[in-house]
Amino acid sequence: MKPFERIRHIFVNAALILMTIGLTTVCFRWSSADITTNQIDYFLDTAFLKSISGTDADAEVWRKKRMQLEDILQSRPDNSLYYAQAERFYQKLDTLESYAPALINKLAWQGNEQKALDYVRTALQIRPSSAFLWKEVALSDVALKQYGKELDGALERAVSLDGWNKELLFMTIKLGLDHWGNIDESAQRAIMQAMEHLLAIDEQLTAIDKKKSINAALVLTALSGVKACLMDNRLKTSLPKLDAFCNAYLHS
């Protein structure tokens, strides 16, 4: 092998080795981020009751988890799921402000619900087609009593992007009905559409097996779904299942 070819061979091998090391490092960081994310998920699932005592040890665990979360966001700023988890982290803290004030005082972290909203907004910049993220925006907006175009649009997009997901429909309908007087007519129409879909899903499930029925009419009544029945809106006539639900209530 000629000297020039030998040097080129060495250079190519070195470049391949460096590329392999780089890819291995990236894969390890991504894998490590996923593992840590799962650990934080488990922590958030179990942290509520454990944190109510508000001990110094509890506060230290929360600080450690926040550092891990910030490291993940720094390593994967392009991943919407990690920002969604950050939103969940701060939503949980916002809930603990009422149930574990001693812990919140020790942490001295303020504006947790606003931070949750900021993170989900960032997640949406990466993944604007996520109905789940739009629903989370609506959830944070009502928690902050921020009524307006963002809330109205979030409810509309959640329904339009995944209008046949019964869990998402239930949460979106509840948010809309609980704050019916604070959302505009377009958002109210979206909630009515969601109610139509939930009734249709229930009808399909019942046709397959009555034991699978989710009793959508009863659920909607419990959620004050009759608010939508009182709207003088032509949309109801184009939503036959909702129209039937309303007629059953109004003539009962």
The domain of 250 spans 151-252
Cβ atoms of 245 and 199 within 8 Å: the answer is: yes
Structure tokens at 4: 């020039």
- Tens digits of per-residue pLDDT, 139-178? 999 999 999 999 999 999 999 999 999 999 999 999 999 9
Q: What's the mean pLDDT in 194-210?
A: 94
Percent residues over pLDDT 70 in the chain? 85
Query: 212 and 121, same structural domain?
Result: no
Tally of domains within the chain: 2
Query: 186 and 117, same structural domain?
Result: no
Helical spans, DSSP H, in 100-184: 101-107, 112-126, 131-143, 149-161, 166-178
Query: 199 and 246, same structural domain?
Result: yes
Could you give the count of Cα atoms lying within 13 Å of 103 in the half-sphere of its Cβ?
Answer: 25
Cβ atoms of 211 and 177 within 8 Å: the answer is: no
SS3 122: helix
- Tens digits of per-residue pLDDT, 3-12? 556 555 555 5
Query: 183 and 117, same structural domain?
Result: no
Which amino acid is present at 3? P
